[in-house]
Structure 1
């Protein structure tokens, strides 16, 4: 089991429901509440600035339903649906929700769902994630039932796809696909060699060919630098620029 806590947001248009789930989150040791939101629009704006691991998300809300909102979430954010209507269960699982809580639910039911999420993240961050060497010169990744040794010097960039990562390598037209979250990988890669520049991309700084406005060119692939990561990337450019 991972010792890393899960950050979460509660989204529900009913004040009493928000208060109940907030109380449950606060008494659960491995959960850290970042915000409670009264609708999906408010949550969407918050997540643009601060992505989290887990959403406790009501389904039937005005303007944008929980099901609709779940399809728009960042790739590394997972959902536990909370709703008073059991007819949404099948649809909830179709959008890959980790669990489905039918209101009114007690703390035992909530804890069971939260524990399922905790185990899921532990799996992604632990047993099936990359095993990095202490020297950080290579990593082992599980791909197609094999452990592949990947030299970090050969990596061009990492591309996040929901629960998976594509590893793009030099002299290899096809990427290596592995189960892992981009956030977990970002925390473990050497910061002087790799930088996250977009919600979906971590680039090898040694392999950046051209920087043009807010885009990076690596091996003929253009990657946008998003606003969230631009200050850190500009700092890297300034530190490594020579202005005559």
Structure 2
């Protein structure tokens, strides 16, 4: 197994706290700092476009608190809270935080929390590796995903998905017989890596479609459940290959 490196982001509206955690991250070999943000809104925009393993997240911030922000994350990103107020500890664990650092904390305390994250992700990778080996043997394909939406982890059957629509920071998941989509914080790029290639295809910077649920192909447009989706030039070659391989 490859050496574990956790990609992390620091979020804190206090510059001194931000710089202190940055110094701790940089001296920890298995942590890679992608960005430090002075607000949850700034971090929200960044995470919507970049896969992040771990957040060091302050709780009391203007506009959007750390607790509110953490409830918007999908299960791929874990949180270690950093705060000066111990009354938030219980709430922190309710949103499945890996740990809770009470300011002021030293490097030993920080490292202990970071090691908890390292252990969690090591176990996760080992579990995925075992699952992949099992899938390779049985040739079974993934048929569902768990996505975080409105404080819950929802089990979404891939057979029910019509298409995924990417917004700036979110993805809309459009399902059969459902008038409203599921909304989740995730990038289309990260999602694309989780989907079976034989069933789903990226056809536009903002759309991944279910190949089995295409109703009509009309010139450079796909029609799924009355929704017209344009196949952009960037993805047209691969899509035309799919059409040719499945035409009479």
Closer, same or farther: CA 231–48 of 1 in aligned 2, 3 Å: farther
Closer, same or farther: CA 112–88 of 1 in aligned 2, 3 Å: same
Match of 2:67 in 1: 67
Alignment of 1:53-64 (within 5 A): 53-64=53-64
Q: How many residues align?
A: 196
Match of 1:144 in 2: none
Tell me, yes or no, if structure 1 residue 129 matches structure 2 residue 128: yes
Supply the distance in 1 between the matched residues of 2:7 and 2:234 (Cα, whole angstroms). Answer: 23
Unaligned runs of 5+ in 2: 160-186, 215-223, 225-231
TM-score calculated relative to the size of structure 2: 0.66
Match of 2:50 in 1: 50
Question: Does structure 2 retain, via aligned residues, the 8 Å contact 1:85–1:102?
Answer: yes
Structure number with higher relative contact order (C-alpha < 8 Å, ≥ 6 residues apart):
2
Deviation at 1:165, TM superposition (A): 10
Post-superposition CA distance 1:96-116 (Å, at most 9, x none): 000000000000000000000
Say which SS state the counterpart of residue 36 (structure 1) adopts: strand
Supply the distance in 2 between the matched residues of 1:109 and 1:156 (Cα, whole angstroms). Answer: 39
CA RMSD of aligned residues (A): 3.8
Unaligned runs of 5+ in 1: 133-137, 142-148, 171-195, 223-229
Question: Does structure 1 retain, via aligned residues, the 8 Å contact 2:145–2:158?
Answer: no
Match of 2:239 in 1: 237
Which residue of 120, 138, 145 corresponds with 1:159? 145
Which residue of 195, 213, 217 corresponds with 2:210? 217
Deviation at 1:216, TM superposition (A): 2.1
Supply the distance in 1 between the matched residues of 2:233 and 2:21 (Cα, whole angstroms). Answer: 35
Supply the distance in 1 between the matched residues of 2:61 and 2:77 (Cα, whole angstroms). Answer: 20
Closer, same or farther: CA 235–219 of 1 in aligned 2, 3 Å: closer
Tell me, yes or no, if structure 1 residue 7 matches structure 2 residue 1: no
Post-superposition CA distance 1:184-238 (Å, at most 9, x none): xxxxxxxxxxxx96655633333459x899352355598xxxxxxx998656325
Alignment of 1:92-111 (within 5 A): 92-111=92-111
Say which SS state the counterpart of residue 57 (structure 2) adopts: strand
Supply the distance in 2 between the matched residues of 1:25 and 1:49 (Cα, whole angstroms). Answer: 22
Deviation at 1:139, TM superposition (A): 3.3
Match of 2:118 in 1: 118
Q: Please identify runs of 4+ aligned residues in structure 1 that moved more than 6 A.
A: 164-170
Deviation at 1:131, TM superposition (A): 2.5
Post-superposition CA distance 1:156-205 (Å, at most 9, x none): 6452446x9979699xxxxxxxxxxxxxxxxxxxxxxxxx9665563333
TM-score calculated relative to the size of structure 1: 0.67
Supply the distance in 1 between the matched residues of 2:34 and 2:76 (Cα, whole angstroms). Answer: 16
